[in-house]
Amino acid sequence: MNRAETFAAGLLGISGVAAAAVSAHAGADPRLMGAVALVCLTHAPALLAIGLFGKAQPVLRLAGLLLFIGAALFGSDLALREFGEARLFPMAAPAGGVTMMAGWLVAGLAGLFSRKA
Domain extents for the chain? 3-112
User: In sequence order, which residues have a C-beta less than 8 Å from that of residue 10 and are 6 or more positions away?
Assistant: 44
Return the pLDDT at 55: 76
Q: In angstroms, rounded to a whole number, what is the distance separating the alpha carbons of residues 14 and 19?
A: 8
Return the pLDDT at 6: 93
Closest CA to 116 of 59, 65, 35, 42: 59
Within its chain, how far is the Cα of 84 from the centroid?
21
Return the pLDDT at 83: 87
Predicted confidence pLDDT, tens digits, the chain (117 residues): 788 999 999 999 999 999 999 999 987 788 999 999 999 999 999 999 999 987 778 899 999 999 999 999 999 999 999 888 788 899 999 999 999 999 999 999 998 887 765
Region of 116 on the Ramachandran plot (φ > 0 left; ψ -120 to 50 alpha; else beta): beta
